[in-house]
Structure 1
Amino acid sequence: MIKKNLPLFFSFCLIISVLACQNDKREDKKSKETAKIEKLASEVKAEKIKTIFYSLPSPLELTILFKREGVEYHYEELHDPKKRDAYVTTVKKALNLGVYGADLSYAGLFAKHADAIQFFSVSQVMAEDLGIGQTFQREFITRLEKNAANKDTLLQVISDFFLENDSYLKDQNQQDISTYVLVGGWIEGLYLGTHMISAKTSSTGIKEIIIGQLNSLDNLILLLSDIGKSIELNNLKDNMILLREYYNEVDYVKIDESEIKTKQESDEILIDNQQHRHEMNDSTLLKITETVTEIRNSIIR
């Protein structure tokens, strides 16, 4: 009886073996396809992030906009370089590297040579701690020291540095650190722009610059939402979202035909293609200023 069933048994085992082999091949193929899809998704995400990075203004660009509207230089509003050693976590170091970078921009733009070297040196140490000190080359310090009396050259050196530093940060696969640096620099830029106001500062101009940063704010919130979670980061993101809510109070007013004609004749550019202008009242400006200050204080604390 047993002998009669042996061929049947072996046939059954062979069928099971073949099916198992086919199943393994299908699973292997499925696994490779999944890995391919995940790799493609990761590459698409990386390109999207890089596009967002390059859409954000550098601290120097933001500083130039505010200076055109009449802001002045007050050293006491800048972040204390002596607090550099107070930051021990990667998040804090990167955020404050962004802050010091914005302060470097202000010092350079107002031809404060000694202050510029001070902020550059602090930034260099912090960048090296984070492993991104490649762009803080000795060449920049040497050029800063040699051109103390030349405002234009001083500004050119700082501009060259920011171009190289921005490109390095945005091209490296270090999304977290790059995001923190960009957030810190952007917040400090807005903070200084709203705290160095003088009697000759154009309130309307300041409001227009702040309104113009809406897209950057949205992108920064998007980047923060895409990286790791912690109480510190959650608080930062929540405060950025609160700041975003105040932008909803900005009014969009349709420009009448006579104003459009006047603007066209004077070669002025309309705010957008829909021929609307943005209006921000003083109450909204105050809310945004106070929220930016709170975020900045939480960063440098």
Structure 2
Amino acid sequence: MKKIITSLLLVLCVSGVALAQRTEQQLLRNVIQTLPNSLEISYLIKDVGIKFRKNLLNPISHARSYHSDAKQALNLGVYSTDLGYINIYHDTPEAKSQAFLHLTAVKRMADSLRCTELFNFEVIQRLVTHSDDLDSLFKITNDIFAKLDNRFNEQKKPELSLLSLTGGWIESMYLTVSMDLEKPNKILTHEIVEQKLVLEQIEALLSFYESKPYVRQLINSLKKLRQAFAEIKTSRQVTKKRSDGTLIVEEKKAQIPKKTLQRIFKEITILRNQIIQPDK
């Protein structure tokens, strides 16, 4: 009987681990599908008519000061997002000169994480500095993330791909909210509202690695951001009615008071500063 119970417990434990892994993978896929691509965000920002702002980028000088895998993974996401932002302004001299420097920072992070060969830096540099081929950049970034995810899983460090994804998302949010505060725009506001759900999904994914101190610290910081997002008021506007009496929801409206947007920006800035701050 004792052997039977022990065997049953072992089966349950193994099944639980497998279920957790499947759940995590499904959540990760869901998050990737709903994440704002940094290139899309940058195009929205440019369409609003906001000029390139170098001061919004993570300083290149920080790149040599990230020593832990966690910081390197987070800032791989940050620098990659910055590179996407730079690409949209590649026809301006300031952005063009910044592209190579940020590409170097991305390479430094990749070198430190032992995944340099996953990046075709010659192709990326050509696309970032001379191309409006958005589809190719989308494909390259998606392919790289899939390869990174496989590599980190092989290294028994699956949380690193999630941290890279999270760092990129935080940088995208930082850019978007700062621009919406500078020049309010309905499209940018809508994009910010959509990230409320993404934040919840990221928190759910990070909870799988809550036993790791740096992940736990990140989760605690994200909670404050979630509280700020909770102040966003959304409503659905019904504009059509079928002959059978059923209603069709046409659009979801969101209201973000300036104070709420300022609070979101405050929390995202605190969180971002924690991520980009060089290791001591």
TM class, shorter-chain normalised? 0.7 to 0.9
Q: Which structure 1 segments of 5+ residues have no match?
A: 1-22, 262-271
Contact 1:143 1:157 in 2 (8 A): no
Who is 1:76 aligned against? Answer: 55
Q: Spell out the pairing of 1:210-249 with structure 2 (5 A cutoff).
A: 210-249=192-231
* Per-residue deviation, 1:241: 1.1
3-state SS in 2 of match to 1:178: helix
Alignment RMSD (CA, Å): 2.9
Distance in structure 1 (CA, Å) of the matches to 2:251 and 2:23: 34
Greater Cα radius of gyration, structure 1 or 2: 1
Contact 2:75 2:275 in 1 (8 A): yes
Cα offsets for 1:179-204 (capped at 9, x unmatched): 111111111111122334697x3433
Distance in structure 1 (CA, Å) of the matches to 2:5 and 2:214: 42
Distance 1:37 1:64, change over 3 A: same
Distance in structure 1 (CA, Å) of the matches to 2:205 and 2:146: 17
Distance in structure 1 (CA, Å) of the matches to 2:211 and 2:8: 31
Q: Which structure 2 segments of 5+ residues have no match?
A: 241-247
Matched, 1:152 2:132: yes
Cα offsets for 1:55-92 (capped at 9, x unmatched): 33332233333333333311121111111111111111
3-state SS in 1 of match to 2:132: helix
Give 2:120's match in structure 1, choosing from 137, 141, 150.
Answer: 137
Worse-matched range after superposition: 50-59 or 177-186: 50-59
Query: Identity over the aligned pairs, expressed in percent?
Result: 24
- Scaled by the length of structure 1, the TM-score of the pair is 0.75
Distance in structure 1 (CA, Å) of the matches to 2:63 and 2:236: 48
Distance in structure 2 (CA, Å) of the matches to 1:202 and 1:142: 32
Contact 1:102 1:185 in 2 (8 A): yes
Distance 1:31 1:157, change over 3 A: same
For 2:11, the aligned partner's letter is E
Worse-matched range after superposition: 61-70 or 243-252: 61-70
Who is 1:267 aligned against? Answer: none
Q: Spell out the pairing of 1:1-301 with structure 2 (5 A cutoff).
A: 23=1, 26=4, 29-30=7-8, 33-34=11-12, 36-38=14-16, 40-55=18-33, 56-111=35-90, 112-141=95-124, 143-144=126-127, 148=129, 150-153=130-133, 155=134, 158-171=137-150, 173=153, 174-196=157-179, 201-255=183-237, 260=239, 273=249, 276-301=252-277
- Scaled by the length of structure 2, the TM-score of the pair is 0.80
Cα offsets for 1:73-129 (capped at 9, x unmatched): 111211111111111111111111111011100111111333222212211121121
Who is 2:244 aligned against? Answer: none
Contact 1:60 1:162 in 2 (8 A): no
3-state SS in 1 of match to 2:234: strand
Contact 1:58 1:162 in 2 (8 A): no
In the alignment of these two chains, the number of paired residues is 261
Distance in structure 2 (CA, Å) of the matches to 1:276 and 1:159: 27
3-state SS in 2 of match to 1:85: helix
Distance in structure 2 (CA, Å) of the matches to 1:165 and 1:37: 30
3-state SS in 2 of match to 1:292: helix
For 2:272, the aligned partner's letter is R
Worse-matched range after superposition: 102-111 or 125-134: 125-134
Distance in structure 1 (CA, Å) of the matches to 2:15 and 2:236: 46
Contact 1:239 1:295 in 2 (8 A): yes
Distance 1:83 1:95, change over 3 A: same
